[in-house]
Amino acid sequence: MRGAVLFIAFSALASLVASAPATMCATRQYLDPTTNTCKACPASMTACSSATVAITCQRGRYITPAKQCVSPTACPPNTFPDASTKSCKKCYAANAATCMDGGTASATSCLSGSCLSGGRCVYIARMGSYQYCSNGLVTSCGTGVLKCDSSGVTITCKLGYNLASGAKTCIKCPSSQIWNAQTEECDERCTLVATVKTDSSGAFESVKQRAQRFDASLNLCVDCDDPFAESCSSGGETESCISPFENRDGLCVAPCKGDETWNASSWQCELVCSDGHYETDPVDGSTYIVRARWPNYATSTCEYCWDLGAVTCENEPDSHMSINCIEDYFLSNDGQCLTW
């Protein structure tokens, strides 16, 4: 049993000796296994295990993780030249293309698919929507931008910002201005609806702030044409009037008082009172008198004349004097309409 083990051990040693080189290779040489001869290492290597795998490098050359001897400026991607070990060492981040040293934030450029930010390589897929990769650097899309595409073109804006589609920028209007979606510019914020001062009962007293319109050519807020307009068109024409003013064909006029009526040809309220006259009832054919009234301009009301038979009477509150009388009445010397 012991003899058998010894024999196996001896045979193994014998076969090993048979394939071993006849001599050790000299320095700067390696054993070529195909020819079983010693061959010179490449000039960049001081020791090597094959024609392409270095063990140590020539002075001035750094060994790479792949056992190559390169000039320190030619360290491969994801490595940096480490002077103390004369080697190209791996960067801290696996996605760094170049780095200054092995520090966590020492990347100086990143591999494809990643972007540099503060010495770190950020995966582009994980960047914020408000960022994009510009020349390998994480770059902000711009002020007010919520989202931009991979080339930095604005897609959407943050709340409070407005997208200028032409310039692809996000604009925030100052508080005195308002965004105009049509022109994509900030316009002056106009008082589009007039504000008024009212008394304790809520009735109109005065105009606090006249209604305005925006004049696009002047880029200014301009008062509406009518001082009592509640709002007006872009051309200044009245659209509505402040209550109680009434919109009469674009003019805001005070409402007629008392018995006044609007005269569309003279453009004003008029107190027109009917003269006394007979009228016939259309149903039973009976005739009755419609009493004369006179215009009391002080109260804007039509007041009845004293006499039933008057056509017109004196425009005086306490006067009982008729001026002329309806048919079947005659005017007395003291101004009364009397019947026979």
Ligand X SMILES: *[C@@H]1O[C@H](CO)[C@@H](O)[C@H](O)[C@H]1NC(C)=O
- Nearest residue (CB) to ligand X, 219 versus 261: 261
- Nearest residue (CB) to ligand X, 112 versus 265: 265
- Nearest residue (CB) to ligand X, 20 versus 272: 272
Q: Please tell me the distance from the alpha carbon of residue 128 to that of residue 112, in angstroms, as a whole number.
A: 18
> Is residue 274 at the binding interface for ligand X, with CB under 6 A as the rule?
no
- Closest C-alpha to 98, from 74, 80, 115: 80
Q: Given 3-state DSSP classes, what are the helix, strand and coil percentages for the chain, each rounded to the nearest 5?
A: 5, 40, 50
Alpha-carbon 162 to chain mean position: 2
Residue 23: count of CB within 10 angstroms of its CB: 9
- Nearest residue (CB) to ligand X, 6 versus 272: 272
Query: And the tokens for 94?
Result: 């696996």
From the CB of 301, what's the least distance to ligand X, in Å? 16
Q: Please tell me the distance from the alpha carbon of residue 47 to that of residue 51, in angstroms, as a whole number.
A: 10
Binding mask 209-248 for ligand X (x = CB under 6 A): ----------------------------------------
Instruction: Measure Cα distances from 46 to 5, 27, 57, 261 in Å.
Output: 42, 7, 5, 118
DSSP H or E run through 31: strand 29-32
Using the rule CB under 6 A, give the single segment among 100-108, 185-193, 259-267, 302-310 that binds ligand X: 259-267
Q: Please tell me the distance from the alpha carbon of residue 262 to that of residue 256, in angstroms, as a whole number.
A: 7
From the CB of 316, what's the least distance to ligand X, in Å? 22
Provide Rg for the chain, Cα atoms: 53
Binding mask 8-47 for ligand X (x = CB under 6 A): ----------------------------------------
Using the rule CB under 6 A, give the single segment among 148-156, 246-254, 265-273, 324-332 that binds ligand X: 265-273
The residues near 173 (Cβ < 8 Å, ≥ 6 apart) are 162, 179, 186
Helices (H), the chain: 2-19
Q: Using CB under 6 A, which of 40, 43, 66, 272 touches ligand X?
A: 272
> Is residue 249 at the binding interface for ligand X, with CB under 6 A as the rule?
no
- Nearest residue (CB) to ligand X, 203 versus 272: 272
Q: Using CB under 6 A, which of 265, 286, 287, 333 touches ligand X?
A: 265
Using the rule CB under 6 A, give the single segment among 21-29, 96-104, 199-207, 263-271 that binds ligand X: 263-271
> Is residue 299 at the binding interface for ligand X, with CB under 6 A as the rule?
no
Return residues touching ligand X (CB under 6 A). Answer: 263, 265-266, 270, 272
